[in-house]
Structure 1
């Protein structure tokens, strides 16, 4: 039986991923920020679900995640770095460095902390996979093309996702020798709370596509940036 760890698993895409991997008979390790969220997941998924309460903006989360995995899992097959927050300021006169710093912490440092916590268990898997949930807005190619001019997307979100994409590339190249697949995905324009004006994808459908895609990839697919089962994405 395979195991998956999903960050930001109590709402939106993260919760839909929790549902689909649980239905696929995975042991699930949803990472959430509060005990209340963990209790709700335990009630909804009474078997094969081991919620981890951790603040991914803190280095303390590394040991918290590691201890929980050591207690409940020998190996870990999939890590999905899904946790994220949105930004608001899109003009240079109003963008706040505090906002930029907060988004870098959760979108870039959060995945680093999560991978550092999970790497010992990933190395015990036959087909270990790390998936970073990125965004079309992290694509330097698409941004430079002018596709999103005047769309009022925040500085902080676009910058953080671009940096996360670089992390994916660096990590994939480093971990290839360990047979650990590392990819970035754009889940689609999701119909969630922080939706864009052109949102058109139900999070449940995005989660199902990601699940099906993850089931078939291996080290030969490392380094990809894709919208699963839809299209390849330009870096």
Structure 2
């Protein structure tokens, strides 16, 4: 039985990822922020699903993740850094430093904390993989071409996802030699409450694609920024 840890597993794409891994006989650990969310997941997925209630905005989440995992397992095969929130302001006159700091903390530092909390468990796996759920909006190349200029995407989200992509590159540079595969993915234009105006993909469909793609990963695939079964994105 494989073991996966998914952050932000109580709604949207994260919830669908929990579902698809659970249905494919994985033992699922999922990080959520509230006891209520944890109870709902335990009710829905009654066996081999272990919600971990921590707030990835704070450093104490690292030891809390380690503590919960250590009581149940010695290894994690896959870490999916999915937790995230959208930004709001898209005009420079209205951009707040507080909003940018919040999104950087969640999308970038939250990933750092999750990896720090799971790295020893990943090293015990025979096929360890770290998947960062990025976005097409994190592509500096695409942004520089003005491809999304008319869609009013927030400064904070684009900046945070670009930072997360650099983190993915840094993790790959360090961990590939240790046999840990690290990748960033654009999951598709998802039809969610915070989805873009050109959204065309349901989260359940995206989750199925992501699962099937992750199952094919080899260490030689490490270091890519891709949309599963569609193609690579430029950094």
Task: Name the SS for the 2:94 alignment partner.
Answer: coil
Q: RMSD across aligned C-alpha pairs, in angstroms? A: 0.5
Task: Name the SS for the 1:194 alignment partner.
Answer: coil
User: 2:6 aligned with 1:6, yes or no?
Assistant: yes
TM-score, L = length of structure 1: 0.99
Worse-superposed segment, 104-113 or 68-77: 68-77
Q: Which residue of 2 aligns with 1:76?
A: 76
User: 2:45 aligned with 1:45, yes or no?
Assistant: yes
TM-score, L = length of structure 2: 0.99
Query: How far, CA to CA, are the matches of 1:149 and 1:45 in structure 2?
Result: 41
1:9-48 per-residue CA deviation (whole Å, 9 max, x = no partner) reads 0000000000000011000001100000000000111111
**Moved beyond 6 Å, runs of 4+:** none
Query: How far, CA to CA, are the matches of 2:215 and 2:111 in structure 1?
Result: 21
Deviation of 1:139 (Å): 0.2
Query: How far, CA to CA, are the matches of 1:28 and 1:229 in structure 2?
Result: 24
Deviation of 1:109 (Å): 0.2
1:28-76 per-residue CA deviation (whole Å, 9 max, x = no partner) reads 0011000000000001111111110000000010011010111111110
Task: Name the SS for the 1:5 alignment partner.
Answer: strand
Deviation of 1:142 (Å): 0.5
User: 2:115 aligned with 1:115, yes or no?
Assistant: yes
1:106-157 per-residue CA deviation (whole Å, 9 max, x = no partner) reads 0000000000000000000000000000000000010011101121100000
Q: After superposition, where does 1:188-207 map in structure 2 within 5 Å? A: 188-207=188-207
Q: Which residue of 2 aligns with 1:230?
A: 230
Deviation of 1:223 (Å): 0.2
Task: Name the SS for the 1:50 alignment partner.
Answer: strand
Query: How far, CA to CA, are the matches of 1:33 and 1:72 in structure 2?
Result: 20
Q: Which residue of 2 aligns with 1:125?
A: 125
Query: How far, CA to CA, are the matches of 2:157 and 2:95 in structure 1?
Result: 11
Task: Name the SS for the 2:131 alignment partner.
Answer: strand
Q: After superposition, where does 1:79-228 map in structure 2 within 5 Å? A: 79-228=79-228
Query: How far, CA to CA, are the matches of 1:110 and 1:68 in structure 2?
Result: 17
Deviation of 1:229 (Å): 1.1
Count of aligned positions = 235
Task: Name the SS for the 2:184 alignment partner.
Answer: strand
